[in-house]
Amino acid sequence: MPQRLSLLLTTVSLGLLPTVTLAQQSQQTSTGLTLTTDSVTVDVQFYSPDIVRVFKQPKGHSKNKQSLVVVLAPAPGKLRYGKQGNLLTVSSATTQARLNPQTGQVSFFTSKGQPLVSELAAGLRFTPKTDLGEPTYQVRQTFRLTPGEAIYGLGQHQDGWLNYRGHKTRLRQQNLDIAVPVLHSSKGYGLFWDNYSSTQFTDDDKGTTFDSEVGDCADYYLLNGQGSADGVVARYRTLTGQAPLFPRWTLGFWQSKERYKSQQELLEVVEKYRSLGVPLDGIVQDWQYWGEDNDYWNSTEFGNPRFPDPKGMVDKVHALHAHQIISVWPSFGNKTKVFQELKQRNMLYDFITWPPTHHVQVYDAFNPAARDLYWSYLNKNIFALGMDGWWLDATEPDQIHPLSSDDENQTALGSFRRVRNAFPLLTTTGVYQHQRQTTTDKRVFILTRSAFAGQQRNATMTWSGDVQSSWDVLAKQLPAALNLSLAGVPYWNSDIGGFFPNGQYPKGVKDPAFQELFTRWQQFAAFTPMMRAHGEATPREIYQFGERGTWAFDSQEKYINLRYRLLPYLYSIMWGVTHAAGTLMRALPMDFPQDPKVADLGSEYLFGPAFLVRPVTESQYVTRADKNVLGTTDFTKTKTTDVYLPAGASWVDFWTGRRQTGGQTVSRETPIDVLPLYVRAGSVLPLAPRQQYTGEKDGAPLEIRVYPGANGEFTLYEDENDTYNYEKGAYATIRMRWDDKARQLTFDSRAGSFPGMQAARTFRVVLVDEQHGTGLGQDDAPAKEVKYAGQKTTIKL
């Protein structure tokens, strides 16, 4: 039985009876401590030694809450209880919570007594309100941060900030903005605010506040990363779910546009890439494959006569060694079969959505039966064709009218106002779980426009929405992506060139000014989790920009080829995301927390452990007098871009092999086909041969580049590339270790195996300097050939 403690606070005058009797109660529990003050009940629950939940309700209220996000059950390990002055304490091996028995204020410390974060003494506010006639509250909790502390995360926002100190942002799902209420501190802790309504986040001189529109409780989790940014992300994933592995082919190049209007057009694109010898792995079919009448919107059926043989189309794509995904929405036209069945079962909302007509309505993704029905149509009409993945569009969902009465809709979990931010989590949950139940032979891949905490467990790749085609927007994609990663959501991409070119580039692909923007955006995209060309109004296929030998074509082809050379590196890191809660797009504070110059540097980042990427985000070679006039190109003078090399490492220019020390800003020449790209000294980088699609040359030797200047290592991961057999242990790893002083590279014994694994293979090891192993590389670069049969092998370079 829990031990019950009663604290009786009295004021006593000498020789007189007590004049004040204010009773506060605390109770030790198996997972923490419960405290009742005169106004609030506070539960502190340890889910692990590093993860602590704080759950507060007004005194006398006892509503249970089932989190939509959290998948972890409390397992605190051994806890210690005590007092610190007049404060109650409960501690794990790594984390201590201190509670003020009079106010209910909670503060967190490390096991050594170092402060992490504290609530303000008067930082909690429950403001009574009604929601669909039911009593509830607007809930606000304010925290006190330390001076100089940087804060990141909160999802994806288009404001251009990396560090949110001194800023505010609204956490509400919409096209371009993704609400993930996870705050990530430079002190190595995180806070997850477990509320699903629109929330105002503010950091100012009054504190750091989450202010949510609806809530019966204040509910948040402290994530003690023990001083490490990776530790914060790992605790978040432990709490909310790990990210499953995508199929390897998704790392290749993707071609898309709004939209391919026929089966023939789509197939001709794939065939053209193959005939040109430009690599391609993914093709996307956008909307209206169902027809052009909005009453049949998103029927999930190929009702458009221009798609006469959808299964034949998918089969042909596969025969060309490519893959296809298709656009599906959470809304349905009133003449579709799925609409009629959902309406009959009262599973539709009535707010205005896109396209803006009352004949199109959104389904209730919070209803498990509605998710079942949704999948039944996707399965029989689309997945059964052999389709390889899903483009779940408008998963906010997209409300077209700001005064729409969407909040007043009833969902299976209460008002839409109460749960709106969790809509993308629930709709992707339905597709992910149902496909997993349908087959284990094809990994789930979901491209989606919105996300919420926990959504990484649904095999989702988020994109940044219908962004404008402009240099300013391109620059803002970097901090937007990095903050989503810092919030724990690992997979992100954007429409190469921006979705809407019309405002800036009405002549589209024919305008050299748009070509320059597209070229630089594509260079950036080569170093994001998904490299995907997409947009409206103008075609985006590489051959639309000119022929081979023209600058726009050649630069694009160069970076597509580079992407395919990086496949072993990328797939191994993707395994690290799944296996070790890793992060692919890494804001520089993650790896260089002691360098104050990177705390708010959102213009560059690490891509995995090896690459420092500094995209060019301004026009350098094309000028225009007017947006309606084609730009003028001038390559006579090579321009430059400033790059900060973080302190604490040496950096090797990927293109030249030149090594430079960290802690300085360098001016890097940036001809139109050069992205400033540096490799951390000590990196071991596996590269594949050039190929037209993933898997084309799996038996060929891998090039292993070693960048001297520090010790380093890399673990090469391999499996069947699709299926979920890796979850049963069907995979293999080879750890490669570089000893810089001894000039030795060691291939450790292979760990694990899988069906079809190459028992023996060849590695071509290149020691990088200014003459060897630079840029895309040459197959005839001086190399030491290693025949590897799975046993430990060491070579000297």
Residue 134 is a catalytic residue = no
Q: What is the CB neighbour count within 10 angstroms for residue 637? A: 7
Question: CB count, 10 Å around CB of 10?
Answer: 11
CB 56 within 8 A of CB 42: yes
Q: How far apart are CA 122 and CA 136, in angstroms?
A: 20
What single letter denotes the amino acid at residue 305? P
CA quadruple 513, 514, 518, 521: dihedral sign: positive
> CA 567 to CA 569: how far, in whole Å?
5
Q: Backbone dihedral region of 298: left (phi > 0), alpha (psi from -120 to 50 degrees) or beta?
A: left
Domains of the chain: 27-240 (2.60.40.1760), 497-797 (2.60.40.1180)
Q: Is the pTM of this model over 0.85?
A: yes
CB proximity list for 207: less than 8 A, separation 6 or greater? 120, 123, 142, 143, 144, 145
- The reported pLDDT for the residue numbered 691 is 98
Neighbours of 160 (CB within 10 A): 15
Judge contact between 520 and 621, C-beta under 8 A: no
> From residue 690, how far is each of 113, 563, 694, 778 by CA, in Å?
54, 9, 10, 10
DSSP bridge pairs for 182? 192
Could you read off the pLDDT of 444-453 as tens digits, one per residue?
999 999 999 9
501 burial (CB, 10 Å; 0-12 / 13-18 / 19+) is buried
Percent over 70 (pLDDT), the chain: 96
* The pLDDT value given to residue 729: 98
Write out the two tokens for 439. Answer: 């087959």
pLDDT digits (tens, 9 = 90+) for 739-768: 999 999 999 999 999 999 999 999 999 999
Q: Which residues, at least 6 apart from 109, have a Cβ–Cβ distance to it below 8 Å? A: 95, 96, 97, 98, 115, 116
pLDDT band at 399 (very low <50, low <70, confident <90, very high): confident
Cα(578)–Cα(777) distance, rounded to whole angstroms?
30
Of 489, 583, 474, nearest to 158 by C-alpha is 474
Strand bridging mode 106-110 / 115-131? antiparallel
Listed range (14-18, 39-43, 355-359) with the worst mean pLDDT: 14-18
Catalytic residue at 393? yes
What would the mean pLDDT of 641-655 be, rounded to a whole number?
98
Scored b (16 or more CB within 10 A) or e, 161-181 reads bbbbbeeebebbbebbbbbbb
Cβ–Cβ under 8 Å, residues 395 and 363: no
In the numeric block, the tokens 């080569």 are attached to 526
Strand, coil or helix: what is 17? coil
Q: Is the dihedral of CA 667, 671, 672, 677 positive or negative?
A: negative
- Residue 305, number of CB atoms within 10 A of its CB: 9
Give the pairing of strands 189-193 and 664-669. unpaired
% the chain with pLDDT above 90:
92
Whose CA is closest to 643, among 675, 670, 671, 614? 614
Are 100 and 485 in contact by the 8 Å Cβ rule? The answer is: no
Q: Are 704 and 764 in contact (CB under 8 A)?
A: yes
Q: What is the pLDDT of residue 403?
A: 61
> Do the Cβ atoms of 12 and 6 come closer than 8 Å?
no
Q: Of residues 396, 511, 516, 718, which has the active-site annotation?
A: 396
**Parallel, antiparallel or unpaired: strands 282-285 and 323-328:** parallel
- Beta-bridged to residue 607, according to DSSP, are 585, 611
pLDDT at 15: 27
Mean pLDDT, the chain, rounded, equals 95
From 203, 211, 213, 393, the catalytic residue: 393
Question: Tokens representing 796?
Answer: 């000297």
CA-closest candidate to residue 193, choices 158, 223, 165: 223
> 729-735 — which CB contacts under 8 Å span 24+ positions?
730/754, 730/755, 731/575, 732/757, 734/788
Q: Which two tokens stand for residue 334?
A: 């009133």
Q: Which of 466, 511, 536, 653 is catalytic?
A: 466
Terminus-to-terminus CA distance in the chain, angstroms? 65
Cα 518 to Cα 744: distance, rounded to the nearest angstrom: 42
pLDDT for 23: 41
- The model's pLDDT over 282-336, given as tens digits with 9 standing for 90+, comes to 999 999 999 999 999 999 999 999 999 999 999 999 999 999 999 999 999 999 9
Q: Note whether 760 and 698 are within 8 A (CB).
A: no
Q: Mind listing the pLDDT tens digit for each residue in 17-64?
A: 222 223 468 999 999 999 999 999 999 999 999 999 999 999 988 888
Distance separating alpha carbons of residues 245 and 387, to the nearest angstrom:
18
Nearest Cα to 362, choosing from 420, 284, 449?
420
- Pairing label, strands 622-623, 611-613: unpaired
CA gap 715, 717 in Å, rounded: 6
Q: Three-state DSSP class for 714?
A: strand
- Pairing of β 605-607 and β 611-613: antiparallel
Give catalytic status of residue 293 as yes or no: no
**Distance in angstroms (rounded) separating the CA atoms of residues 349 and 370:** 12
pLDDT of 6 above 60? no
Strand-pair category, 389-392 with 446-448: parallel
Per-residue tokens: 461: 């790749």
Biggest CA-to-CA distance, the chain:
101
Alpha carbon distance 452, 433 (integer Å): 17
By CB atoms closer than 10 A (0-12, 13-18, 19+), residue 26 is buried
Contact between 416 and 406 under an 8 Å Cβ cutoff? The reply is yes
Contacts 24+ apart (CB under 8 A), 596-599: 597/644, 597/646, 597/647, 598/644, 598/646, 599/150, 599/163, 599/186
Could you tell me the two tokens for 576? 């690290």
Position 7 confidence tier, pLDDT thresholds 50, 70, 90 = very low
